[in-house]
Structure 1
Amino acid sequence: MPTLRDYAELVRAPAGLSVPGDVVAGAAAAGALGPRTPALASASVLLYWAGMAANDWADRELDAEERPERPIPSGRIGSGHALTVAVGLTAAGVTVARLAGGRRALAAALPLAAAVWAYDVKAKNTAAGPAVMAACRGLDVLLGATGGRVARAVPAALLVAAHTYTVTALSRREVSGADHRLPVATLVGTAAVTAAAVNPRRQTGWRALVPAALAGWYAARYGAAQLKAAADPSAPVVRAAVGAGITSLPALQGALAAGAGAPAPGALVAAAAPLARRLTRKVAAT
């Protein structure tokens, strides 16, 4: 019988801490932070975990060669059972979104779920893979915005999507290693995302310091890992950069929320970053 740790590995449980901040950033930008935000964040986590389980189900044959220690190829979780977990989590995520946010939230959750499955089953190993995964994260931000003015959350969604593109592009080389030009290119993207996240026209006084500090934290953590990968683009170093990109995302999300006028929720979101790093030492995030 699968253990709780087996399930945690299947869904990359610690990486789920990088997800609620999408919803918080979107809600803050749209002026929709409120009682339903935690429930929408929960729906987002469920859909993320569904995607991780679907990823391992779709990759079961490849993982048998490249990552035999994962739950499915190691025999700890059957492939059919993993598929059931993925479908069940998807249904649960969409249902929670509908209950929490009504039809507007459902209108965002359904294409988000579809994009997650499209990435895992079809797009992941194609040239469109990073763009599809970026779209997943962008839609996740917009899910949080469904209770307010969604258009105002589009810039935040684009920045989270851009970050996700860089992480996904790196992840495609975390087994084989990369050419040094790839982490250099993603580092340039990270610098652009950081600069856009710190917009001095949004806040003044001490409030402007919070998004700047959080964005700097994000850039330092993820940027340092990409610099190491540029110097040594071997598989373990690239994989570490991918992990840094996942676990540093809450700092970016926090900066976006703080920049939209929610410094306290933004700081709370960013606090998930060190916790995620600690947990990924026990259960891999990639």
Structure 2
Amino acid sequence: MTVTGSGAGGATAADPVAVVVGGERPAVAEPPPARLPSRSEGGWAFAWAELLRLPALFTVPGDILAGAATVPGRPGARTLCAIGSSLCLYEAGMALNDWADRAEDAAERPHRPLPSGRVRPAAAFTAACALTATGLALAARAGRPALAVAAPLAATVWAYDLGLKRTPAGPVAMAAARSLDLLLGAAAGSARVRPALPSAALLGTHTLALTTVSRHETRGGSPLTPLTALVTTGALTHLLTRTPSPTGQDAAAPTRTAGHALRVAGALAYAATAARPYLHATLNPSPPLTQKAVGGGIRATIPLQAALCARSGAPVSALITAALTPLAARFAKKVSVT
């Protein structure tokens, strides 16, 4: 649901590229510490926070709020259940991602929780299963339409982590996960998800570009990939600032004025966060600058979600989503999202 980090998230994917539900994390080969941490060092809570890439969770609620903003009514108990479902499925993807990559991590990232022995592989896999089941149960509490979206979302998360992320279909799968996550928010508030399709397409496009860039984090590559992401960012910014609300919910003058201001602010924040590192990677597609481009794309997800909320006539949801930005930055200083 990151670009987790890339991830792509390896989402990274980091997790796409945590962009994304789906537990993505970047393929970046992180430098190992001088010594491996002991099982008790930092405590078990820190080890699990590192495994689950806790700061990346702040990129998740905005998906649901942006989806809920596209349908009539205010977010309620079902929306909260959908947010809980999304968080669980996202974290399931994170745990499953490390479980699936445990052999690779043992060679390239021995300080990660699994290869260092701070978290057992069986525990990570069990957590992935339990979080998936919990996520589906919460989706069921949000209604049958929500469950109908959460089920393919969960399947996409597992398919990505267990095989698709290393194939050309990886970025598409990650984009699909983010789009489905947004549709989950709409399904929880209404039996119809069609009004949310334009917003889902915009978020999915951002995730697709971000995840594609993340695949070159460790080796760099052609400047064409970050250039494409840069152009995509510009196109999305234009659409967010120029097109009217697709739902017509901001027809009232006060709401329209507030919504437009927040939409423009969110779109500009999105562009400012993503465009500069993409430009640097275009001029010099080295691994360090490509990794910074992925980080910028991940951070840009939250203002993009806020702009989508405002675009759909939900200024309160836009403000709540935007408020997650400083929280994500604060927690990221303690636990890496990659």
Q: Per the shorter chain, which TM-score range? A: over 0.9
Match of 1:39 among 59, 81, 103: 81
* RMSD of aligned residue pairs (Cα, Å): 1.6
Match of 1:247 among 281, 296, 299: 299
Residue correspondence of structure 1 range 224-243 to structure 2 within 5 A: 224-243=276-295
* Alpha-carbon displacement from aligned partner over 1:12-53 (angstroms, at most 9, x marks no partner): 111011011000000101224321212211210111111011
* Alpha-carbon displacement from aligned partner over 1:208-242 (angstroms, at most 9, x marks no partner): 11101111101101111212222332223222222
Shift of 1:246: 1.7
Following superposition, which runs of at least 4 residues in structure 1 exceed 4 angstroms of deviation? none
The separation in 2 between residues aligned to 1:189 and 1:74, in whole angstroms, is: 39
Contact kept? 1:26, 1:143, Cα under 8 Å: yes
Q: For 1:97, give the aligned amino acid.
A: A
Identity of aligned residues (%): 46
Match of 2:193 among 150, 165, 183: 150
The separation in 1 between residues aligned to 2:279 and 2:309, in whole angstroms, is: 27
Residue correspondence of structure 1 range 1-286 to structure 2 within 5 A: 3-35=44-76, 36-99=78-141, 101-146=142-187, 147-148=189-190, 149-202=192-245, 204-286=256-338
Structure 1 gaps of 5+ residues are none
The separation in 1 between residues aligned to 2:103 and 2:228, in whole angstroms, is: 31
The separation in 2 between residues aligned to 1:283 and 1:111, in whole angstroms, is: 30
Shift of 1:66: 2.4
CA change 1:124–1:62 in 2 (3 A) is: same
CA change 1:23–1:32 in 2 (3 A) is: farther
SS of corresponding position for 1:176: coil
Q: For 2:222, give the aligned amino acid.
A: D
Contact kept? 2:220, 2:290, Cα under 8 Å: yes
Structure 2 gaps of 5+ residues are 1-38, 251-255
The separation in 2 between residues aligned to 1:198 and 1:120, in whole angstroms, is: 35
Q: For 2:267, give the aligned amino acid.
A: A
Q: For 1:225, give the aligned amino acid.
A: P
TM-score, normalization: structure 1?
Answer: 0.94
Which range is displaced more, 104-113 or 190-199? 190-199
The separation in 1 between residues aligned to 2:300 and 2:328, in whole angstroms, is: 9
Q: For 2:97, give the aligned amino acid.
A: N
Q: For 2:164, give the aligned amino acid.
A: A
* Alpha-carbon displacement from aligned partner over 1:146-202 (angstroms, at most 9, x marks no partner): 122310000001111111112211221222223322211111111122222224422
Q: For 2:75, give the aligned amino acid.
A: G
TM-score, normalization: structure 2?
Answer: 0.80
1 or 2, which has the higher helix percentage?
1
SS of corresponding position for 2:217: coil
Q: For 2:102, give the aligned amino acid.
A: R
The separation in 1 between residues aligned to 2:282 and 2:122, in whole angstroms, is: 39
Q: For 1:38, give the aligned amino acid.
A: L
The separation in 2 between residues aligned to 1:73 and 1:178, in whole angstroms, is: 29
Contact kept? 1:66, 1:175, Cα under 8 Å: no
CA change 1:265–1:52 in 2 (3 A) is: same
Contact kept? 1:225, 1:240, Cα under 8 Å: yes
The separation in 2 between residues aligned to 1:32 and 1:195, in whole angstroms, is: 28
* Alpha-carbon displacement from aligned partner over 1:221-275 (angstroms, at most 9, x marks no partner): 1111212222332223222222222222111111111111111211210121232
